[in-house]
Amino acid sequence: MPSVPLGPIGSGLTLTDIVLDDLELRSSIVRAPAVPIKNKGQHKDIRAFAVDLDTGEITNDIRFGTDLVWRPEQGLSVSGGSGLSITGTSYGAVTPVQVSHMPLTSTVIPPGAVPVSFPSPFWFMSHDAVVFGVRTSEGRLAKVKAWRSLTEGGALHLE
């Protein structure tokens, strides 16, 4: 810190360092418009599979850390202490704050609740999908969209 002259009153003194005993900072708390994304991806499969939403790992069997399990005859279910809640809104409209306020206590989405739809030929066109929030086995929050394709033998698409 450069020395600071103290003016006419302290003409013979020079301030060379400062010790703050009490410091008060004031600010407004503002919510961040976005939350860092740990993993993002898509998967489609006609067979059963398991997903660890924390790592993005997809396997054919349930392992430690598995969050979602798809079994075509039983639907989507959670594993490893995870929980989910269906949102009832579009995927793009769900925010991290909304997911954090969901109860996330359900454990199953029956196969009949996962819409069967034609894939959209254009990325900007939507189709029916079930959108839900998930608390992962590591305590993170995720939003997920699922639908089944009529043109791919009922394969589950998960985003």
131 in Cβ contact with 145 (< 8 Å) = yes
pLDDT at 8 over 80: no
What b/e string do you get for 136-158 counting C-beta neighbours within 10 Å, with b at 16 or more? bbeeebbbbbbbbbeeeeebbbb
Question: Across the chain, which distance is largest between two alpha carbons, in Å?
Answer: 89
pTM of the model: 0.74
Rg, the chain, Cα only: 26
Average pLDDT over residues 22-28: 73
Of 34-38, 53-57, 100-104, the range with the lowest mean pLDDT is 34-38
pLDDT digits (tens, 9 = 90+) for 108-128: 999 999 999 877 665 666 678
DSSP 33: S
H-state helical runs in the chain: 96-100
148 in Cβ contact with 114 (< 8 Å) = yes
86 in Cβ contact with 106 (< 8 Å) = yes
Average pLDDT over residues 44-61: 93
Residues 6+ apart with CB under 8 A from 12: none
